[in-house]
Amino acid sequence: MNNLASIESGLAELDMRAGATLTDRLFDALQRAIVEGEIPQGGKISEPELARRHGVSRSAVREAIARLEARKLVERKPNLGARVVVLSAEQLIEIFQLREALEGMAARLAAQAMSEAEIDALDALLAQHGRQIEQEQGQAYFQKQGDLDFHFRIVQGSQNRQLIGLLCDDLYHLLRMYRVQFGMRSKRCRQAFAEHQYLLSAIRARDPEMAELLMRQHVRASRRNLEQALG
């Protein structure tokens, strides 16, 4: 048993999944705090403060911060410490250009590689989204969450581990952070829903070319929407 870390109160909030090191749990907690906006954009990530708050040493905090940096959630400068990234409008646009390329490829591969069962599940997910939109109940949050879910599954369906890692481990966290911080509610959610359905049709038809085309147009439309909103 470790000296005293495990009975410290600060760690109570952290999940205790087996085999996870202290740094792992710290990383999860910090990533959540950043993505959920508890630490604002540009906010300082202070090693001593976090160490105190969580009742651990600076070493563990430093390592967790290093992982956050690897995921582009914080930026670190020598002797100056780490701060939560600030996404400029330009960078957001650039990220959407990345998404267009990557998710386009993911859709192409998914059209070839997804199982019928996965496609059926995706169909069910879309049906649920449709109901939510009709009732206007889930609104922005659930719609955006649902949007990410949909894209998430397509990427998983590509069965390309590089793609999956890049998008699901890194980019999607950044996107979620951005969405929480900006509280952005898209006006084109009905349109987006329709585009999701077209895309699913192409995947069901096992048409990679069309799937990629539709996904790219879908992401591009989101980007244009964003450009207009941001200016």
Partner DNA sequence: TTCTCAAATTATGTCGACACTTTGGGTCTA
Partner DNA sequence: TAGACCCAAAGTGTCGACATAATTTGAGAA
Residues forming the site for a second copy (CB under 8 A): 19-21, 24, 59, 62-63, 66-67, 69-70, 78-79, 91, 94-95, 97-98, 100-102, 104-105, 109, 160-163, 166
Looking at the Cβ atoms of 19 and 48, the one nearer to a second copy is 19
Looking at the Cβ atoms of 103 and 133, the one nearer to a second copy is 103
Looking at the Cβ atoms of 39 and 174, the one nearer to a second copy is 174
Contact call for residue 63 and DNA (CB under 7 A): yes
Q: Which residues, 6+ apart, have CB-to-CB distance to 156 below 8 Å? A: 118, 164, 168
Which among DNA, a second copy, none contacts residue 1 (Cβ within 5 to 8 A by kind)? Answer: DNA
What distance in Å separates the CA atoms of residue 65 and residue 30, rounded to the nearest whole number?
8
* H or E element in which residue 32 lies: helix 22-35
75 to 94: interface string for DNA, x by CB under 7 A? -x-xxxxx------------
Contact call for residue 39 and DNA (CB under 7 A): no
What distance in Å separates the CA atoms of residue 132 and residue 66, rounded to the nearest whole number?
39
192 to 231: interface string for DNA, x by CB under 7 A? ----------------------------------------
Which among DNA, a second copy, none contacts residue 67 (Cβ within 5 to 8 A by kind)? Answer: a second copy
